[in-house]
Amino acid sequence: MKPLEGKVTLVTGATRGLGKGIAIGLGEAGATVYITGRSLNTSQDDISGSLIETQALVESVGGVCIPIQVDHSDDEQVSLLFQRIQDEQGQLDLLVNNAYAAVQALKNSYGKPFWECDLSLWDKCNNVGLRSHYIASVYAAQMMTQRQQGLICTISSWGGLSYIFGVAYGAGKSACDRLAADMALELKPHNVASLSIWPGIVGTEHISLLADEMNASNVHDQGSAAIRERYNWETPLLTGRAIAALAADSTVMRRTGRVQIVAELAQEYGLVDQNGESPVSLRSLRFLLPSALPALRKYAGLVPDLKIPWWLLLLTILRSPKI
């Protein structure tokens, strides 16, 4: 029996990228996976991806997948989504808040200071990508608290503590972490866990294209090196496998309210990525030293996989906000 057989899960924003990988990871574990997105049969932009394509991949690894076309900026559509899950399944065991509408906008504004970006960037980052997570969590919590069990995973990033893609992005990711932590406080008495999930550098369709464009335009700044050179990349499936392991962990409540780093979860649960590799945490010496000294990358395996303590990171690399 697979670990998530009989479990009902929902992954928002699953036409491609992280959402697709998460859905596949849950399908591998035997879950019934509801997936949402704006594109049912065909992509709405130049990057491929649709719910039907994701459904086929989830089913190919043994999962049951139910695609539902939803625009997460429309609260009524979201309400109907959860009502449908209640009517069809009578339960929801896992919500993955992943829907995000700003990927192309962030790509277009890359390298610009916030005052030169279009004002719409803020809403693109933090409407579907923060507000939408809150709305989905409200409906999920109503279902989960009735059964006194459940897990809400909110996809965030290292950008919540360190400057990555700009002001609007960082503010939104920091808010996602706080959302997960504060929801955990109120959900804990009802035996429902809430976690913030930090993937590493994930080779999604958009990030892969960004790396290609950086190389074609001869962008060589140190800050873009890890993207440009595809160093220590993860695939979206690793996040899916990590979340599946969390959902199957009977002791998951001991983690509630905390940030969970995908590479560290993979190490703890004995997981490997789609390509059989084991990317390290972005706070590992094995990542940090070769990032700073590219000549060491050939010998990265010889660098100890030691995690830098959070207090030291907060004094150096993760230096925002200051109190």
Cα(133)–Cα(183) distance, rounded to whole angstroms? 11
Query: With DSSP H G I counted as helix, E B as strand and the rest as coil, what are the percentages for the chain, rounded to 5?
Result: 50, 10, 35
pLDDT for res 230 = 76
What 8-state DSSP symbol labels residue 127? I
Q: Is the pLDDT of residue 206 over 80?
A: no
Could you tell me the pLDDT band of residue 178, with boundaries at 50, 70 and 90?
very high
* C-beta of residue 222 within 8 angstroms of C-beta of residue 5: no
Edge-to-edge order in the sheet of strand 150-155 = 64-69, 32-37, 8-11, 94-97, 150-155, 192-198, 259-261
Give the range among 126-135, 155-164, 178-187, 206-215 with minimum mean pLDDT. Answer: 206-215
**Distance between start and end Cα atoms, the chain:** 50
Which of 49, 51, 57, 48 is CA-nearest to residue 69?
Answer: 51
pLDDT in tens, 47-91: 668 999 999 999 999 999 999 999 999 999 999 999 999 999 999
Summarize the confidence of residues 15-38 as an average pLDDT. Answer: 97
Q: What is the dihedral of CA 21, 22, 24, 25, to 10 degrees?
A: 120
Q: Is the per-residue pLDDT at 275 higher than 70?
A: yes
List pLDDT tens digits, range 223-235. 566 666 678 889 9
Torsional sign, CA 256, 262, 263, 265: positive
Structure confidence at residue 226 (pLDDT): 63
pLDDT above 70 for 11: yes
pLDDT at 316: 76
- Are 196 and 262 contacting, i.e. CB atoms less than 8 angstroms apart? no
110 annotated active-site: no
* pLDDT mean over 273-288: 92
- The pLDDT tens digits for 90-102 are 999 999 999 999 9
For residues 212 and 198, the model is more confident at 198
Q: Which of 100, 169, 231, 269 is catalytic?
A: 169
Tokens of 12: 């928002």
Indicate if the alpha-carbon torsion angle 216, 221, 227, 230 is positive or negative. positive
For tokens 């449908």, name the residue: 84
Overall average pLDDT of the 179-196 stretch: 98
